[in-house]
Structure 1
């Protein structure tokens, strides 16, 4: 085989990796529950590393468990072109979210091997740790560390509900690597992903060219009150942390409806409390919420209303409150040259395509802070995701795979520094 405009990935081989991945960490029927640094995550990591080595890649693991597979280029003094996503899932996750991006990157390398083509620049593929944030908060933790947003020690101390910390679990499953986190030059980063929205599927468009990201703000708030007997404790004496957290989440949901007509969204995603039992008032609670909007100014206004709501919820319930963590990402973050290149490749390959924003969070958001970055979307049925009914077919994904292949080759083979 030789490299040409007609070169395509091996779809059957790619699909076999998807099916193998779907056997690891099964959740509800048809779905996955492969939380970060769980035993199931270790199993898929081991399989992925084996696949990388079989493809002739050298494998390294950094200190937050990110796995890199490197394919040498003609000039290895040049920074590599990186592509990938994540293999961890939500508690009720699907078979494609993140996984398509990692295994699509692997298939790109395998196709280059088939073609016997060595790119000018090296190519690397990556599995980012804990993108979902389902076990360790915040989401995109390890790519955030790679970008220098989160300190390494802070990341290692992030707790899970079962009491383990991020660093302890990395060590337990054997993926506390030695490679430094970040601190190296990248030529570019590409991430292939299912859309996680209904637009491509509804319009029967094959490829999404991601132009920008919704601006998002997230918060982890901790409320502290006092336990008391639910019967005799007078209402004016109560300091119910659970109620404070619940009031916040209801307010956040109402806020989303205020902005719904212009595409704004808000989510109360988590509430935990202690003792959280009948007959007793809870003296501790945590809540996680987020807001997002395509207009950065509207998103900032929504975030400010959440900050006020946190204080108001605590005061009304007679509790104290602390914002333990907050995060912000999105906006006009993707590289115009890479975006234009993806658009050209989709057109030259004969695929229908359209521009659209990313509404979910992705590791690409942090990579955009350190190198030119772009995303490619493939359709998913009815936009259903973070759900065991998440569905994409081979035919849905194949165009995006081939656009990734040709976009990466074009970037890695270009002459000059820029």
Structure 2
């Protein structure tokens, strides 16, 4: 059984957490910014220090390969992402990359050879907060998204993703096409309350919710806030507020696991005494049942249309992203459970409400995930926290899962 070096693991975590650190103890390391470049550079240096063969593909995914006894055997793929949300937490993504790095360091320190090679990866733009396509690096890697489409994505300032890859020196030469993978395991914080509520240190993740993202634009007519009678107004903000309220209530009409979120909102002309003529907002709809997601999209569109009819406005609704729910590989899930039992770590089986790179990788390789608890279920903010004992327990289960898979 492998046992990670807790002190080394903690030191690595704290060092990486300094890159893009916020005053409130969080992390602001958006994809392909200078902070992301610094984290990537540190990651590449750490891989090189282990003697790994490091390569960067055309979308900027960073890989490192530790050879196995049989160099021709399909490798086990491990890792996660180093980019963060704006003013996000230190654990989301980063903990998965550093658990994978500590796994390789432990194998090296203990002189353990594995039958199969092991490949570690840092995926590009997993968060999708700067360039609007979550899990982008893994989506391009697996063929879900076209490379040129991805490179042409722009951020809110009109900056092109491909240009930013070139600017920070991560426009790699290696083909982004997937290679043969024996299995894949990703460690991540739960980003939910179940593990903490149930008193378990590890979650064996058996699947991921289906997700639909909508961008909505409601158009009305600007007019003066004082002399314009209420019954003659075409108020885009009022229509949007009605629609957002109705969308927030949709899960009650759908299923116990359905969730809806409006996370972005903008209004024009954004003046205190002018009736808004335009309101734009995002909609995020999720469930483990794809039929429920389909119904949620249809109901959201219906509620938007009804709100516009009440307020004399019009709307454009664009579905910008959709992924079906994912069921992970039962054998890889069982390998995680066996490692937890060997390590004496309490665990439970669950599904993920959040999307992860493992979702796309599961299209090309047997895949599972390991969750560790999120205190109060909080994530995507600076208060995000996982107790260090849980980080260590998860990393030990992770290392032994990888060892087991690499010796198959």
Q: Same fold (TM over 0.5)?
A: yes
Aligned positions of 1:299-338 closer than 5 A: 299-314=293-308, 316=310, 318-323=313-318, 325-331=320-326, 333-338=327-332
Say which of 357, 365, 377 aligns to 2:371. Answer: 377
User: Quick check: 295-304 or 386-395, which moved more?
Assistant: 295-304
Aligned to 2:383: 389
Match of 2:199? 204
Work out which of the residue numbers 151, 155, 159 in structure 2 matches 1:160: 155
Task: After superposition, give the CA deviation of every residue in 1:119-153 in whole Å (9 maximum; x if it has no partner).
Answer: 22211111111111111112112211112121112
Q: Does 1:214 align with 2:209?
A: yes
Closer/same/farther in 2, CA of residues 248 and 128 from structure 1, 3 Å limit: farther
Q: How far did residue 286 of structure 1 move?
A: 3.1
Out of 195, 201, 204, the residue aligned to residue 190 of structure 2 is 195
Q: Deviations over 1:77-119 (max 9, x none)?
A: 2222111111111112111111110011111111111121222
Q: Give how far 1:385 is off.
A: 1.2
Determine which of 31, 36, 45 is the counterpart of 2:40: 45
In structure 2, relative to structure 1, the CA distance for the partners of 1:369 and 1:283 (3 Å cut) is farther
Q: Using a 3 Å threshold, how does the CA distance of structure 1 residues 312 and 146 change in structure 2: closer, same or farther?
A: farther
Please point out which of 251, 266, 269 is paired with 2:263.
269
Give the match's secondary structure for 2:188.
Answer: strand
Distance in structure 2 (CA, Å) of the matches to 1:157 and 1:229: 40
Q: What TM-score, normalized by structure 2, do the two folds share?
A: 0.92
Q: What secondary structure sits across from 2:263 in the alignment?
A: strand
Matched-pair contact (CA < 8 Å) for 2:213–2:319: no
Q: Counterparts of 1:263 and 1:396 in 2: how far apart (Å)?
A: 26
Moved more, 279-288 or 54-63: 279-288
Query: Does 2:63 correspond to 1:63?
Result: no
Q: C-alpha separation between the residues in 1 aligned to 2:161 and 2:270?
A: 26
* CA root-mean-square deviation: 2.2
Q: Is contact 2:75–2:119 with CA below 8 Å preserved after alignment?
A: yes
Q: Quick one: distance in 2 between partners of 1:158 and 1:115?
A: 44
Contact 1:256 1:267 survives alignment (8 Å): no
| Structure 1 residues 134 and 412: alpha-carbon distance in aligned structure 2, compared to 1, 3 A threshold | same
Mapped to 2, the partners of 1:39 and 1:91 lie a distance apart of 14
For the residue of structure 1 that corresponds to 2:158, the secondary structure is: coil
Deviation, 1:217, is 2.1
Per-residue CA deviations over 1:198-224 (Å, capped at 9, x if unaligned) read: 222222212111122223222223445
What is the alpha-carbon distance in structure 2 between the residues aligned to residue 279 and residue 132 of structure 1?
37
Q: Residues 246 and 271 of structure 1 are in contact (CA less than 8 Å); yes or no, is this contact kept in structure 2? A: no
The gaps in structure 2 that reach 5 residues or longer are: none
Matched position secondary structure for 1:163: coil
The residue number in structure 2 matching 1:92 is 87
Which sections of structure 1, spanning at least 5 residues, go unmatched? none
Distance (Å, rounded) in 1 between the aligned partners of 2:319 and 2:226: 32
> What residue in structure 2 maps to residue 348 of structure 1?
342
- Count of paired positions: 407
Aligned-partner Cα distance in 1 for 2:369–2:33: 28
Instruction: Tell me the SS of whatever aligns to 2:30.
Output: coil
Distance, in Å, in 2 between the alignment partners of 1:153 and 1:309 is: 35
Partner of 1:408: 402
- CA 1:244–1:84: 2 relative to 1, 3 Å: farther
- Tell me if structure 2 keeps the 8 A contact 1:11–1:394: no
| Secondary structure, aligned partner of 2:405 | helix
Query: Does 2:172 match 1:177?
Result: yes
CA distance in 2, matches of 1:314, 1:76: 62
1:94 partner SS: coil
Q: 1:107 to 1:34 in 2, by over 3 A?
A: same
